[in-house]
Structure 1
C-alpha cells in the first residue's frame, strides 16, 4: 500500500491529476491504519502520508489538509528516537508544514514553530548527512518568510542568517545535483530582499546572477521552472525601476511570458506570471504584447476557479481576480479589438453559473457522431449536478474526493469531444458571431468599467457586418462608479431598506435626504452613462417618446456599475417634473448577467399567440419567525383575478414547504414567489426565499433545471442584489432562477414596501394575461419587461415620481 501511495504521488507530480494524489493519500492512510505503532516501518508511512497531505494542500489550499499533515508528521516525530538517522528528516518536514500553514493563516506562532523545528533538524543532522543541504534550505526559507512578515528595517538577523544557510547548502551540494537550482533560486530571493532594504545595486545584481543560474540549470520539464522564471523576472523589473534600462524590462517580460506559457506549473503561477507580463507590456507601451498576455491570463481564470473545487472556494478565487477581465477588455478596446473585448467580458461573467449550466450539455449532435462519448459526458455531468447541491463547507473528505474525481472525469470527456471534427468549440466561450443573436429582441449595452477608461459596447442585429458600436464614456470612471455605489449603500443602510420585504421607514427628514441623494445618483447615471448611449442608439433604433411601443434595451454592466439602477437614470427636476428627462420616457429596460442568458430559446409550449399559462403562486403572509406581510394576501388574490379557472396552484401558509415548492416549480410555466427573501454576504449560496418550513436557498436552485419555465416574479426583497466583491458573478436569486431555466425574471434591488407590491402585481399581470396590452407574445417570448414598465409607471403615478426608493427597486432580467 505504501509503495502504491508513493508511486501515485510521483504520478501526480508528473501529470498534475489531483485524483492521483487523492488515491495516494487513501493508500498511505490504509498503510498507516494497518500498521501498529511498534512496527519500525510505520514512521515512514506517516511521513509519506504527511507529505502527501502537504502536497494536496499546496494544490487545493484546504486548511483540513495542512492540519492533517501536521497531525501525522507530529506523530512521526513522536515515534522516532532522537538518535535515529531520519529524525532530522521528520523534524524538517513537520517544520515545512507549519511554514505552509503560516502562508495561509499568517499566524506568527506557525512560522516561529517552523523555524524551531527546522533548526533542530539542522542541529542534530551530521555534517555528512545526505539531505543536510535540504534542511539548511528549509530553515533559510522560513527565516526569509519571517523577515518578510515582520519587515523590521532595524533587524536584518533573519535575512542575514538565511543567506549564510543558503550559501552553506550550495557548498554542500555538488555541481549537477538536481537540488542545486532550488538553492540558487532561494539565495537569489534573499539577495533581492536585501536589496530592497539596502538599495545597493550590487545586491540586486547578485540576486539576478543566482536566479539566472537557477533558471539555466533546472530541467525544462520541472514544474518549478515557471516559479524560478517569475522570480528572475521580478528582479529584472526591480532593476528596470532603478536604472530605467529598456533591456531589463524586455528581459522581465520575456521571463514572465515563458513562465505563463509553462503548462507544467499550477494555474495560480501561470496566472500571476501572465498578469505581470501584461502589466509590464502596458508600462512600456506595447499594448499588442499586453493583449497577448491577457489572452493567456484569461485562460487561467476558470482553471483557478476550477469546478472541482467547492463553489465557495471558486468564488474566493474569483474575488482575488476581480477586475482582471475589465483590464483586459479595456486594453482590447484601446486597440480597436471590440469583438475580442466583448468575448472576454462575456467569458468573464458569471463563471460559476456557466460551469453549472454546462452540466446540462446539448448532446444530440454529439450522440450521432460518438454515442459512447455522449453517454459518458451525460452520465458524469448528471453525477456532478447531483453532488453540486451537497458540496458545502461541511462536506466530508470522501464526498470532496468524489467531486474532484468526477470533475477530472468530466474534463477528460470534454477534452475527447474537442478532438472530434466539428466539436472543437463545444461548450467553450462563444465568439462574437454566436453572441449577436442575443440582441434579437433589442440592443444589448455591455459596459466595461476600468480605472484606465470606461466604455459601452452596443451589440445589435441591425447590421450583421458591424454588430458592435463603441461608445467611450469619458465622464464615467471607476472611482465615480464606486462612489455612487458607496452612496447607495449608505442610503439603504440609513433607511434599513434591506431588513425585510416591509421597508422600515426612517423619520421624514432623513427619508427626504435619502431621496435627494438617490435623485443625485440617478442624475449622475444619466449624465455620465445613459444619455451618451441613448444618443448613439438613436442612429440605429427609433428612440421617440411619442412612440406607443418603446424600444427595448438590455443592460449588462460590470464592476461597480452592476449594482446601480441604470433603468431609472434621469434628471428629475426638483421644481417641475415636466422639465425632467429620464429613461422611462425613451426605452424599456431589462438586465442580464450574461449574453448567453439571452440566447436560450423559449420553450416550445410558449409559442402560443395568447397567454394562458399554468401559474404557481407561493405566498407566505405569516412565515414562522418572520414579520407578517399582510399585503401578500392581496397580491395573491390579485393574480387570480386575471387567470383562467384551474390555471393556478396556490401554495400558502403551511403548504409552502421547500420540497413542495421545488416540485411545483417543475410543473408550472410561471412562478410568483411572494415572501421574505434574504441575501447572505458571508456565503452567497445561502441567499434564499424564506418559506414555511425553512429556506429555499440559491444552493438548492443551482442543481435544478426546469424545461418548460417561462416567467418568474420574485416579490421579495434583495432578489437581484449581488455580492459586492463579485460584481461579475451575479450571485443573487434572480440569477439563480435564470440558471434553472426561467428566461424571464422580475426581481428587486432592495426591500420593497408591502403595500406597493400588490399595485405592481395588479398592473403587471393585467397586461400579460387575458386581453392585456402585452398578452400577445413577441417571437414566442413573454413581454414581461413591457408589463413591468407599465406597472412601475402606474406605481410612480400613484405614489409620486420622487419616491425613488419605492419604485426603483423593481427590475426585469432576461428575455
Structure 2
C-alpha cells in the first residue's frame, strides 16, 4: 500500500490510488477494531486524499492505546507514535501532553518488583523519551512544563535509592502508621538478598499502596513526587542552571534563573551532530593522544556554550570582580562531553573558563539535594586511598606520587591506605568526611550499576557503584575520584546518571571531582596537587573554583590532560 501511494504521489495515476484503497480496506477488515496496528494503516491512508480524516483516527487510536491498561512498553510506543503524528499535524500541545503522560509511566516501568538488570533493560528501551517530551513542550511554547517533564523523566533509578532515605519526620508526626509501613518496605529493599524476590515483590506492592494513600493525604501528595517549579527555580539562587536538552525534534538550553526559565535554541547542536562529536571524542581519547579534543571543545563553544553565555550577558571576566557561577546539566550524548571546558582556547575570552566558574549536575533535583546536605562541623578528616597494584589490571606507577602530593597539601595528617581491600575502604568512607581515590574503574556496558572501583580484593568482593550509592553518609564533604572515566556512565542510559560521580553524590558527598575519560598518571598527579592547594587555602566549598583555576593554569598543555576533570555539586 505504501509503495502504491508513493508512486501515486509522483504520477497522479488514479488506478494506483484505487488499488491502494482496496488493499487498505482489506487490511482494516482483517485487524480487530481497537488493535494498534490499525493506526499504521489509518495513518498511511490519511497522508493523501485517499481517506480524509484517517490520520486523525490513527492519532485517536494511538492515544487510546497509550492510555489503556496494557504492557507498559507497548503503551509507551503508542504514545510516542501518537505524539509524532500530532506533531506532524502541528498539534504541539496535544503531542506534548501525550508524551508527558508517557513520562509519568516510567517509574512503573522500572518497578521495584524487578531486578536491577531488568529495570535498566526496560529503561534503555525508552531512552530519549523524557528528552522528546521536553522538546515537544518547548515546541508547544511551555518551557516550564518542558523542564518539569525532563526532571521527572530522568534519574528514575537514582530517585528510588534516594526515596529510601527521605526524611519522614513530619509524616511520623501526622501518620505514624504510614511512616512505619514505609520503613518496613525500606528494610526489605535494603536487604538486597537475591533469594527474597517474593518479599521484594510484596514490599514493592505495599510501597505503591502507600504512595497512593499519600497522594490523598493533604500536605503529603508531593512526598515522593519530586520538586515543583518553585523549588527548581530556587536552585538557581547562586547562579544559572543550564539544562541542555538534545532531542530529534530540536536542541535547546533551558536556562533556569531566579526569575524563571528561558529557552535558548541551539540549532547547531542537533541530536545527530552531537552524537558525531561524542564519537569523535571517544575515539580521540581512546588512542591516548587526543588530537581532536580541541576541535570538540571548539564545537561545544560555538554550538552551545557561547550562545548561552551571551544570552545571559556573561562576557569575559573582569579582573578584580567575583567570578560568576554556572551549573551545566547536559542530556543525551552531551553527558560525555566537557561543557565546562568548552572554548577556543587560543583566543582570549572565547572559552567558558574565561567567563564563569562551572559545575556539573545530573539534574536540578540532584543540585537541590547536594545543597541540602549538612556541612561538616569541626576539622574534616581526609582518607587518601590508592590501589597502585590492582589485581588483573595494569599497575599505576605514579599512584604513590599522587598520594604524596595530596598528603603534602592536607591541613592535618590524613589516613593513607595503599592497596586496601573493600572492607577497609568502606570503613574509611564511613569515618572520613573527605576521600581521595586513586584506582582503576571496572565498568560494565551491559549493567552500568555494576561498575566497580578496582580494589585489592576486586575479584572476590567487588565494591560496586550501587554499593556506594546506597550509602547514607551524613557529613560527607568531598570525593575526589582520580580514576579512569569516573564521571562517565553507560551509553544506553544517559538519562539515568549511572556513573561513579553521581553515586558518590547520592551517598552524601556535597562535592565530587571526577573525570570523563582515562587520564595518564602524571596528568592526574599534577591536577590533584594543584586542586588541593586551592582547597587548603579556601576550604572545601572552594572545590569548584579549585578545578576552574587548575584547568586555567594548565590550559596551554594538550586539553586531553586537563579537560576531563569536572566538578559536581553546589
**Fold-level similarity (TM above 0.5):** yes
Q: Does 1:606 align with 2:411?
A: no
- The CA deviation at 1:689 is 1.1
- C-alpha distance in 1 between matches for 2:93 and 2:374: 46
Bigger Cα displacement from structure 2, 704-713 vs 235-244: 235-244
- Residue of structure 1 in register with 2:91 after alignment: 286
Q: Does 1:649 align with 2:415?
A: yes
- C-alpha distance in 1 between matches for 2:27 and 2:343: 58
The alignment partner of 2:383 has SS state of strand
**Could you tell me whether the CA contact under 8 Å between 1:715 and 1:747 is conserved in 2?**
yes
The alignment partner of 1:520 has SS state of helix
Q: Pick closer, same or farther for the CA change 1:715–1:425 going to 2, 3 Å.
A: same
- C-alpha distance in 2 between matches for 1:580 and 1:259: 53
From 58, 70, 74, give the equivalent of 1:252: 58
The alignment partner of 1:626 has SS state of coil
- The CA deviation at 1:380 is 0.6
- The CA deviation at 1:428 is 0.8
Q: Does 1:677 align with 2:444?
A: no
- Residue of structure 1 in register with 2:14 after alignment: none
Structure 2 portions without partners, runs of 5+: 1-17
From 487, 491, 504, give the equivalent of 1:724: 491
Q: How far does the alpha carbon of each residue in 1:499-539 deviate from its partner, in whole angstroms, 9 at most, with x for none?
A: xxxxxxxxxxxx4xx42x2211211111111111110121x
- Residue of structure 2 in register with 1:788 after alignment: 547
From 509, 512, 526, give the equivalent of 1:742: 509
**Could you tell me whether the CA contact under 8 Å between 2:251 and 2:266 is conserved in 1?**
yes
- C-alpha distance in 1 between matches for 2:391 and 2:106: 42
Q: How far does the alpha carbon of each residue in 1:698-753 deviate from its partner, in whole angstroms, 9 at most, with x for none?
A: 13223222111111000111101121222212221111111111121000111112
- Larger relative contact order (CA 8 Å, sep ≥ 6): 2
- The CA deviation at 1:405 is 2.0
The alignment partner of 2:47 has SS state of helix
**Could you tell me whether the CA contact under 8 Å between 1:357 and 1:739 is conserved in 2?**
yes
- Residue of structure 1 in register with 2:26 after alignment: 206
Q: Where does 1:652-667 land on structure 2 (aligned, <5 Å)?
A: 652-653=418-419, 656-667=420-431
**Could you tell me whether the CA contact under 8 Å between 1:229 and 1:258 is conserved in 2?**
no
- The CA deviation at 1:545 is 3.8
**Could you tell me whether the CA contact under 8 Å between 2:82 and 2:95 is conserved in 1?**
yes
- C-alpha distance in 2 between matches for 1:235 and 1:603: 54
- Residue of structure 1 in register with 2:109 after alignment: 304
- C-alpha distance in 1 between matches for 2:303 and 2:220: 43
**Could you tell me whether the CA contact under 8 Å between 2:373 and 2:508 is conserved in 1?**
no
The alignment partner of 2:358 has SS state of strand
- C-alpha distance in 2 between matches for 1:267 and 1:305: 10
Q: Where does 1:192-591 land on structure 2 (aligned, <5 Å)?
A: 200-209=20-29, 211=31, 214-215=32-33, 228-241=34-47, 243=49, 245-262=51-68, 264-387=69-192, 390=193, 395=194, 398-461=195-258, 463=259, 467-495=260-288, 511=289, 514-515=290-291, 517-538=292-313, 544-573=317-346, 581-591=350-360
**Could you tell me whether the CA contact under 8 Å between 2:375 and 2:477 is conserved in 1?**
no
**Could you tell me whether the CA contact under 8 Å between 2:127 and 2:492 is conserved in 1?**
yes
- C-alpha distance in 2 between matches for 1:377 and 1:206: 54
The alignment partner of 2:380 has SS state of coil
- C-alpha distance in 1 between matches for 2:411 and 2:247: 50
TM-score where L is the length of structure 1: 0.65
- C-alpha distance in 1 between matches for 2:521 and 2:240: 34
- C-alpha distance in 2 between matches for 1:246 and 1:522: 50
Q: How far does the alpha carbon of each residue in 1:320-346 deviate from its partner, in whole angstroms, 9 at most, with x for none?
A: 112222221111112220100001111
- C-alpha distance in 2 between matches for 1:477 and 1:682: 27
The alignment partner of 1:526 has SS state of helix
- C-alpha distance in 2 between matches for 1:248 and 1:673: 61
Structure 1 portions without partners, runs of 5+: 1-197, 216-227, 496-510
- Residue of structure 1 in register with 2:10 after alignment: none
The alignment partner of 2:431 has SS state of coil
Matched residue count: 549
Root-mean-square deviation over aligned CA pairs: 2.1
Q: How far does the alpha carbon of each residue in 1:465-509 deviate from its partner, in whole angstroms, 9 at most, with x for none?
A: xx21211112221111111011112212333xxxxxxxxxxxxxx
- The CA deviation at 1:273 is 2.3
